[in-house]
Amino acid sequence: MAERLDTFPRLLLEHARVRPASPAIREKDLGIWQSFTWSEVAAEVRALACGLAAQGFQRGMNLAIIGANRPRIYWAVAAAQCLGGVPVPLYQDAAAAELVFVFQNADIAYAIAEDQEQVDKLLEIMPQCPKLKHVYFDDSRGLRNYAQPELMSYASLQAIGREFDARNPEFFLAEVEKGQASDIAAMFFTSGTTGTAKGVVLTHQSLITAGRTGAEMEGLTPSEEVLAYLPPAWIGQNIFSYTQPLVVGFCVSCPESAATVMTDMREIGPTYYFAPPAVLEGLLTQVTIRMEDAGWLKRKLYHYFMGLARRVGARILDAREPVAVVDRVRYWLGDLLMYGPLRNVLGMSRVKLAYTAGEAIGPDLFVFYRAIGINLKQLYGSTETSVFVCVQPNGAVKVDTVGPPVKGVEVKVTDAGEILIRSPGLFQAYYKNPEATAEVKTNDGWFHTGDAGYLDPDGHLKIIDRAKDVGKLKDGTLFAPKYLENKLKFFPYIREAVAFGHERDMVCAFINIDFDAVGNWAERRNLAYSGYGDLAAQGAVYELVRGCVEKVNADLAADPKLAGSQIHRFLVLHKELDPDDGEITRSRKVRRRFVAERYKVPIDALYGGKRDCYVETQVKFEDGRTGTIAATLKIVDAKTFPAAAARRAA
Amino acid sequence: MQSQRKIGAPVLVVEGVSLSFGGVKALQDVSFDVRKHEVRAIIGPNGAGKSSMLNVINGVYHPQQGRITFKGETRSDMNSHEAAAMGIARTFQNIALFKGMTVLDNIMTGRNLKMRTNFLQQAIWIGPAKREELEHRRKVEEVIDFLEIQHVRKTPVGRLPYGLQKRVELARALAAEPEVLLLDEPMAGMNMEEKQDMCRFILDVNDQYGTTIALIEHDMGVVMDISDRVVVLDYGRKIADGTPDEVRGDQKVIDAYLGVAH
């Protein structure tokens, strides 16, 4: 039987057979966690698939799925796969205009939408996407009076399906039987940091192999708990909340709303957790804010025990290097008083395994979580590789590498320093885009990641940066922008940073303050401000940021290779970098080239030695309108340190 | 969006109401009606008698003259308990919530009139009392879901920002499943975003539950956008009554409230 479990529908039916009464997926509805067992899920998926079939959805067609983490969204993915169709999950916060390309490119005729918000977007783009004829919605709130013939509720669709199933009882299983491991299982549109979106085509085999390899390596069992809180359109979310639960048979919980994730984490107590660095940063910022509001004693305790944790915590977790008995006792006490409660607040008390993926994580941020006893590990991969390429092994985590390649993955580094990958999890092609495919995938199956890095003597992969981003200053010093930005972003007050320096004579940076953290800081100092732009422009805030930048510079000075890339000048942006404005991707990666073009004036001012500059930027509001924000930005010099002196001090 | 809610016959009729506090004449001979399923606004400059009018409908004040007809029953004044029992719920201009209690508990108090078991049964919490509480809790959770305040369910009200407190107050009023909802300046002191959210919720309540809404508001823009009909008070007298467009064009209103047009 095992060798036949090679497609997602077969895995689903197998779980419904082996563990019919175990919970497969949960959602919090009206304040109560509602569980669906594997057999219930199988029945729901069957009804949905039959409904789609009755409505004319056929093998090979694409089904757009847009919505937050809800069981019905995941069932839609499975239903499309049962029929040999291709689910195309889309970012729920994408603006209508961004969706047009996907719908046109993938000839999408059927779509499943979560609620009124998504339905409105689909109705808006319908004139430009004449092929879109069927939209099914899950939550009918606000949609009662919509009369468009294209609309139907998810429940009605399932009712049609049940009727269809009763008339054609053989149909569903026959369709599942037709499925092959080499069929396309899903398509993920990635915008990337450059250019337009590309549909990454992945087969059942690639996703399942990647999910299975990861699960075997980490020893995942059906008793794991996972909270699905990231956008379903992200490959990582699919792997952890769809692929691996189906491969292993564990339960996924969907939070009540995006705002309740922290509470839901504590209630569910996931054992397996994953988060892009931005989320981990956000959590740390919250902790820091709360600690600063805490009483004197708590603050003292926190700083003392965090200092201890940074020194010995990771070593104790790894059980690699010896730790003095007195430090062990101290750490044990710290665990009782500080780390345990802190893990509890973060909802991570039961976490056995946590991954961070999606982007490079700043070392300080990474060490923070490991120091308080959370087994956070870096995972390297991309949509094109079904995520799993390299994973840091338990007990041998090196902060600056992403670990050795996982089983079945071959990694090689070109002379130019680019990382190439060959693995069973590799994508088939970019949808309808052979040129783009040929650009990154060679005939013998090697994928060009576009990342620069090397394998260290232990066989761990070290990523330096995106190959095209790594540059050199005019004097030849290495310039790795992401490295600098991550160092800056470790400070709770800095949410985003963009460093410039390639072919320049010094490094300069844009800073985005963290509105919550700086706002809180300002309130404690009785600084009045009216909004983000006003706060960002305050002199005191500039001083605060300057302090952070100078600390980074002092750190950089200690590393002879990087001492030259200290940040000489910076400015604080008047608006947050926003995916709606195209400045960062939906997964929060800075789109450098775009930012460099859009903010040419302030960049020129940074390098032109000016004290301030006037900028006007167009912004898109959430409801799709556009407007302009104008501000005069101050430019400030930061102190830099001579390389040698800092080394002596350290 | 095409709304299909049908505005019906008058459900609440106020006829010739006059109210004075000693020598101060708060309301003088005010008459108007509120039809089923409509959003009815009462506007006017400061001290025009808006809140007094709401308090008369709600039974907090007893007018010296005039009649109020609610659901076919005519009386000279209302009594606030009766008003609540007959299906009138309200919110207050200066939030009147229990600051130390959680959002959930506050909204639960809105179910008070619907509770059938006595406090002894509830204290022991067995049988009917338990079943009843679960039923009320479910209803409250629906309201929480409707107004999107799940994330603060267990937070004490006093810790919430102002805009959210206003929303909790609306939730408590909604939990009573009222036929008529009286809102006393629901948007006062809110920023633009909070105002937009509140407008959306008011319209959703009106559309989804078919609740009749009478609201007092200062913010002219908001009123004109969401109301079906507007009554304008000035110095305790009604000076205009009609659709937002009619009222906006009325010279008396422009003079009294919006300022003289140039």
Looking at CA atoms only, how far is residue B164 from chain A in angstroms? 14
For residue A509, give its domain range: 471-649
Whole-angstrom Cα distance, residue B247 to residue B237? 15
Q: Are A490 and A415 contained in the same domain?
A: no
Q: Are A447 and A513 contained in the same domain?
A: no
Torsion, Cα of B115, B121, B127, B131 (10° steps) = 20
Q: Are A515 and A636 contained in the same domain?
A: yes
Q: Which of A138, A263, A266, A516 best probes binding to B when mutated, by most B CB atoms within 10 angstroms?
A: A263
**Which tens digits make up the pLDDT trace of B248-260?**
888 888 887 666 5
Whose tokens are 């995916």? That residue is A579
Q: What value of ipTM does the predicted structure carry? A: 0.76
Looking at CA atoms only, how far is residue B102 from chain A in angstroms? 14
Could you tell me which of A380, A384, A391, A390 has the C-alpha nearest to residue A446?
A384
Cross-chain Cβ contact A142/B4 below 8 Å: no
Give the chain B residue nearest A256 (alpha carbons). Answer: B150
pLDDT in the model for residue A555: 86
**Residues 571-610, chain A: which have Cβ within 8 Å of B?**
none
The verdict on A256 touching B (C-beta cutoff 8 Å) is yes
**Which tens digits make up the pLDDT trace of A34-67?**
999 999 999 999 999 999 999 999 999 999 999 9
Distances (CA, A) of B232 to A13, B34, B206, B216: 65, 14, 22, 10
Distances (CA, A) of A569 to A12, A545, A554, B130, B189: 56, 11, 15, 66, 41
Structurally, chain A folds into a number of domains equal to 3
pLDDT in the model for residue A562: 78
B72 pLDDT more than 60? yes
Q: Which of A123, A144, A265, A532 best probes binding to B when mutated, by most B CB atoms within 10 angstroms?
A: A144
The verdict on A259 touching B (C-beta cutoff 8 Å) is yes
- For A525-593, the DSSP string reads TT---SSHHHHHH-HHHHHHHHHHHHHHHHHHHTSTTTGGG-EEEEEE-SS---GGGTSB-TT--B-HH
Q: What is the mean pLDDT of residues B31-42?
A: 92
**Mean pLDDT over each residue of chain B, to the nearest integer:** 86
Least confident residue range of A557-561, B86-90, B150-154, B165-169: A557-561
**Mean pLDDT over each residue of chain A, to the nearest integer:** 90
| B76 close to B63: Cβ distance less than 8 angstroms | yes
Cross-chain Cβ contact B204/A257 below 8 Å: no
Q: Are A80 and A197 contained in the same domain?
A: yes
Boundary of a domain, candidates A438, A467, A496:
A467
Sheet holding A32-37: strands in order across? A32-37, A23-29, A251-254, A225-227
The verdict on A530 touching B (C-beta cutoff 8 Å) is no
Identity of the residue in B138, B148, B154 whose CB atom sits nearest the CB atom of A30: B138
Q: What is the mean pLDDT of residues B6-18?
A: 88
Say which CATH number the domain at A516 has: 3.30.300.30
Cross-chain Cβ contact A260/B151 below 8 Å: yes
Q: Are A12 and A38 contained in the same domain?
A: yes
Distances (CA, A) of A489 to A65, A106, A398: 33, 37, 21
Determine, yes or no, domain membership for A306: no
For residue A584, the cross-strand partners are: A590
Determine, yes or no, domain membership for A231: no
Looking at CA atoms only, how far is residue A537 from chain B in angstroms? 22
Could you tell me which of A450, A355, A455, A465 has the C-alpha nearest to residue A411?
A455
| A512 close to A494: Cβ distance less than 8 angstroms | yes
Which carries the bigger pLDDT value, residue B22 or residue A212? A212
Looking at CA atoms only, how far is residue A28 from chain B in angstroms? 10
pLDDT in the model for residue B14: 92
Determine, yes or no, domain membership for A79: yes
Q: Are A428 and A515 contained in the same domain?
A: no
Determine, yes or no, domain membership for A166: yes
Whole-angstrom Cα distance, residue A83 to residue B233? 64
pLDDT in the model for residue A648: 43
Distances (CA, A) of A199 to A285, A429, A486, B36: 34, 8, 29, 52
pLDDT in the model for residue A607: 92
Distances (CA, A) of A386 to A74, A206, B54, B199: 18, 7, 62, 44
Domains and CATH numbers, chain B: 1-87+178-262 (3.40.50.300), 98-175 (no CATH)
Secondary structure (3-state) at A103: helix
Q: Are A408 and A546 contained in the same domain?
A: no
User: Which structure tokens are listed for A449?
Assistant: 């990641």
A436 pLDDT more than 70? yes
Give the chain A residue nearest B2 (alpha carbons). Answer: A145
Whole-angstrom Cα distance, residue A35 to residue A325? 46
For residue A572, the cross-strand partners are: A511
**Which tens digits make up the pLDDT trace of A152-178?**
999 999 999 999 999 999 999 999 999
Q: What is the mean pLDDT of residues A308-327?
A: 86
Boundary of a domain, candidates A467, A484, A507:
A467
